[in-house]
Structure 1
Amino acid sequence: MSITVETKTYLNFINGEWVKSSGSEISESINPNDASEVVGKVQKSTREDLDNAVQAAKNAKTSWRKLPGAERGNFLYKAADILDSRLDEIAETMTREMGKTLPEAKGETARGVALLRYYAGEGMRKVGDVIPSTDKDGFMFTTRVPLGVVGVITPWNFPVAIPIWKIAPALIYGNTVVFKPAGEAVVTAAKVVECLVDAGLPKGVMNFVTGSGSVVGQGIIDNLDISGITFTGSDSVGKQVGQGAFARGAKYQLEMGGKNPVIIAKDADLDLAVDGTISGAFRSTGQKCTATSRVIVESEVYNEFKEKLLAKVKGIKIGNGLEEGVWMGPSASEGQLETVLSYIEKGKEDGAKLIHGGKRLTGNGLEKGFFIEPAVFDGVTNEMRIAQEEIFGPVIALMKVNSLEEGIELANSVEYGLSASIYTTNIQNMLDFVSDLEAGLVRVNAESAGVELQAPFGGMKKSSSHSREQGQAAQEFFTSIKTVFVKGK
């Protein structure tokens, strides 16, 4: 039975209350499955709203920091239980708002529950080490202290998991939060915030402000009372965040996408490789920073792999993500769809051969949404734009190489370095790939997309600011080390 998402205006949450913006502008969040449906109305908040949220977080930071870690963790455990109880509602909202299929949305929401529980447990783990002193009467140790107020800026493609994997560690390590979600996923984000609010977080600890990047996002960058900024999004905006934070001495963490390769070695299990390539490239309509974009295949198996790949791609069912059996939903917005279509044209202009898909879909109601066929290009060379630039859509570039060494060199020949995978049964191939691939996440006989929540996640080169998210590695960003020396009389 379908859950009705009422068309209402979602407010800001500041200093323990849901409040209207000081401005009057409202935008609409549109269903990409059917652009005639408004999922919710959203405030375009002002700099004044943002500053009020920061002040609330600043006022709350001392009392929150002084709570025992276990007590902070109890709030996250409660939030996890609430999110779990609302999983179906939030997952359906996600599908309606950004187009991800319902099974994927449920999986992401369940991951949000697991993230909250994982970080709740961090409240009982160690925060420092004892270090030997050269002074026989001295005692030296380290502890970790929170940054203070943390600004959280998140994208639309994972509207539950990414906010939670930033907010949960920020809170458990003693920080207060000001959260700005992407405009295309505000309703889903608001429902996540409601779970944290209903868990009873003290006033000012969690603050939520909707609006444009130019106003609210820039306000987070500029506000002197925000000590740290964690951002996931585009390369251009990430640079702006990093430069602004650096200029005023704030700590920053950036995750900015990838151009992720999969290498198919000549000894690979081709059926496994095809399944992994399709899943990595086309799940979530290719709208993952870890999505497979370049498919690098050794020449001996190139044609066989291509035939198997095309046979499977042609069987992908595309449609409204709420419908049973649909495997791939729409692009998240009309703008994203236009970006993907423009790159398909660039591929053709540069001389690549489009051998499947790449058209906007119409008929059977699909013309109401932002649907596109998965696109497969053949004959792609390294200088082509579709081989170098992030597309963030269901487009893959097939590239032929004569050896694994050539494949690794090709895989490394882009500005990004987020994730990569290889399919091979040769142990030396695996070892060479793991050693030589310039990426923060490498996977063997598995798709390029995906990382377990207890493991560090982040990229190399232009993909990140070289910090890591998730797992216990999150502690490195959200805290600072304090060294303590104690001397007796």
Structure 2
Amino acid sequence: MKSIHTYLNFIDGEWKESKNGETSTSYNPSNISEAIGSYQMSTKEDLDQAACAAKKATKSWRKLPGNVRGDYLLKVASILEERLDDIASTMTKEMGKTFFEAKGETARGVAILRYYAGEGLRSIGDVIPSTDNEALMYTTRVPLGVVGVITPWNFPVAIPLWKIAPALIYGNTVVIKPASETAVTCAKIIQCFCDADVPNGVINMVTGSGSLIGTEMLNHPDINGITFTGSNKVGKEIARKAVENGKKYQLEMGGKNPVIVASDADLNLAVEATISGGLRSAGQKCTATSRVIVHTDVYDEFKEKLINKVSEIKVGDGLESSTWMGPLVSKSQLDTVLSYIDIGKNEGATLLYGGQRIEDKNGYFIEPTVFDNVKPDMTIAKEEIFGPVLALMRVDSLEEGLELANDTEYGLSASIFTKNIGNILLFIDEMEAGLVRVNAESAGVELQAPFGGMKQSSSHSREQGRAAIEFYTSIKTIFVKS
């Protein structure tokens, strides 16, 4: 049997075994008999050691000039770029997305690091007129201190880096707990920071159970803030405990993202974007298109074009160049998606295409799935599935489409396809989502722009771009009397 590498925790500049010596193994969802690597099943003591190391490093790290912190990020970016293919390949093996997508995500990680390196020389305050003409009043921003970072498996490079990079550039230190499904990928990211000689304690990684490590992060007195991306259920519990413990928190959670196809839409463009937005990464994106709301005048034509294109999708191992859609990340995720498909059929939706596990492959593969005749009160129209499932819904007007699009507890992203400027302006004004896109798929996020949701999709905070400074720092007002 081929031996596999065991990845350690990274604490205070050193790779360390967990205190209990226990490990777990990450397997390839495209070939469930292939082990990718083992990672630590850490204890409360491991987390305590990491948090203490991070706290110890805060004073010296925050005192470095911003451009010096930026230089470290630039060095990490260069190392990550050199290892792009290896890290992308690990991502594909560990969570299943195609190598093409994994390379794009890793390249985005490089760009995120370089973007935030530049933040080290940007303004962090304002001069404010005082009513006292002999006084100077101004603001500056100060770091939170130690930030606990809890990340999901679906974007195992981009999401950790769009949390870590702003945390560090604004003077914080970090303890990250990555999703177990992609712990190996995260370890390779942290190795880039290690090899860039980032000072000891500035960044730490502890792997293992989310219920244990995440809870200890929330309870630990040395951790000042928590940034989390994941499910609504876990996010709400984090918010509750963070408030109880006086910690600042930031949550990015679920979505039930609509695309509206107006009667004047370019249908070929709309079909391509619906498929890309809904089925890339096997639909395992918080911004993935889920509900497809189509005007009745073009509904049948759109549906025919959609099914024709979906039927051409090649499902398989993400490392094979011909593969368009890889597997779901785990047996649990596969079971969840299949259960939603059964619910859709039982509640009366019409299964137009797919809906079955692909049994002739040794992985968690499922056919891309399309439902017709989906009603607003059906489960598949309301709950986040996080799989390659599209729900078609017919409307008689744009106003009806907007009402249907907004009929959800979520408000993360949404898109519309139309050539009419009136339709565009109405959509922009009325759509209750943090990200709205016109004639483009719902799943596009640019690193220099604020990202976050409305309603139950977030804590009403924003990540990425210049907006990241709002979470990772606090404003200090200074009054100086001559």
- TM superposition score normalised by structure 1: 0.98
Identify which of 176, 180, 185 aligns with 2:177.
180
1:29 to 26, 29, 32: 26
Which amino acid letter does the alignment assign opposite residue 425 of structure 2? L
User: In the alignment, is the contact (CA less than 8 A) between 1:6 and 1:39 conserved in 2?
Assistant: no
Deviation for aligned residue 1:24: 2.5
Q: Secondary structure at the match of 1:344?
A: helix
Moved more, 73-82 or 7-16: 7-16
Q: Does 1:448 align with 2:439?
A: no
- Show the 5 A alignment for 1:257-406: 257-363=254-360, 366=361, 368-406=362-400
Within 1, Cα distance between the matches of 2:309 and 2:51?
A: 50
Q: Distance in 2 between matches of 1:196 and 1:382?
A: 47
Q: CA deviation at 1:154?
A: 0.1
1:37 is paired with a residue of what secondary structure?
A: strand
State yes or no: 1:418 paired with 2:417. no
1:114-161 superposed Cα distances (whole Å, 9 cap, x missing partner): 000000010010110000000010000000000000000000000000
Which residue, 20, 41, 45 being the options, matches 2:42? Answer: 45
Aligned residue identity for 1:32: P
Q: Secondary structure at the match of 1:10?
A: coil
Residues 293 and 394 in structure 2, CA contact (< 8 A), matched pair in contact too? yes
Rate the CA distance shift 1:467–1:341 in 2: closer, same or farther, 3 A: same
What letter is aligned with 1:25? Answer: E
Q: Does 1:248 align with 2:220?
A: no
8 Å contact kept, 2:218–2:245: no
> Which residue in 1 is equivalent to 2:139?
142
Would the aligned equivalents of 2:235 and 2:251 in 1 still touch at CA under 8 Å?
yes
Specify the alignment match of 1:465 in structure 2.
459
Gaps (5+ residues) in structure 1? none
Matching residue of 2:228: 231
- Report SS of the residue matched to 2:149: strand
Q: Which whole-Å CA distance do the structure 2 matches of 1:89 and 1:136 have between them?
A: 60
1:87-166 matches, cutoff 5 A: 87-166=84-163
Distance 2:444 2:8 in 1: 32
Q: How far off is 1:26 after superposition?
A: 1.3
CA deviations 1:256-310 (Å, max 9, x no partner) are 0100000000000000000000000000000000000000001010000000000
Q: What is the one-letter code of the residue matched to 1:467?
A: S
Secondary structure of the 2:31 match is: coil
Q: What is the Cα deviation at residue 362 of structure 1?
A: 2.3
Decide which of 409, 432, 435 is 2:426's aligned counterpart.
Answer: 432
Superposition deviation, residue 450 in structure 1:
1.4
Aligned length, in residue pairs: 481
Q: 1:198-209 alignment to 2 at 5 Å?
A: 198-209=195-206
In 2: Cα distance, 1:39 partner to 1:344 partner = 30
Out of 475, 478, 485, which is 2:479 matched to? 485
Unmatched 5+ stretches in structure 2: none
- The match for 2:6 among 3, 6, 9 is 9
Q: Deviations over 1:174-229 (max 9, x none)?
A: 00000000000000000001111111111100000001011111111111211110
User: 1-side partners of 2:140 and 2:153: how far apart?
Assistant: 35
1:248, CA displacement in angstroms?
1.1
1:408 aligns with 2:412: no
User: In the aligned structure 1, how far is the partner of 2:432 from the partner of 2:29?
Assistant: 35
* SS of 1:9 mapped into structure 2: coil
CA deviation profile, 1:42-97 (whole Å, cap 9, x unmatched): 11000000010000000000110000000000000000000000000000000000
Instruction: Provide the rounded CA distance (Å) in 1 between the counterparts of 2:346 and 2:215.
Output: 37
CA distance in 1, matches of 2:478, 2:194: 35
Contact 2:7 2:187 in 1 (8 A): yes
Asked whether the equivalents of residues 420 and 441 of structure 1 are also in contact (C-alpha less than 8 Å), the reply is yes
TM value normalised by structure 2: 0.99
Q: CA deviation digits over 1:236-268, x for unaligned, max 9?
A: 000111111111110000000100000000000
CA distance in 2, matches of 1:50, 1:177: 12
Distance 1:293 1:104 in 2: 20
SS of 2:166's partner is helix
Letter in 2 for 1:376: V
Task: Determine if contact 1:143/1:482 at 8 Å carries over to the other structure.
Answer: yes
- Which residue identity does 2:473 align to in structure 1? T
1:6 shift after superposition: 7.1
**Alignment check: 8 A CA contact 2:89 2:99 kept:** yes
Amino acid at match of 1:102: F
2:25 is paired with a residue whose SS is strand
Structure 1 residue identity aligned to 2:321: E
**Among the aligned pairs, what percent are the same residue?**
68
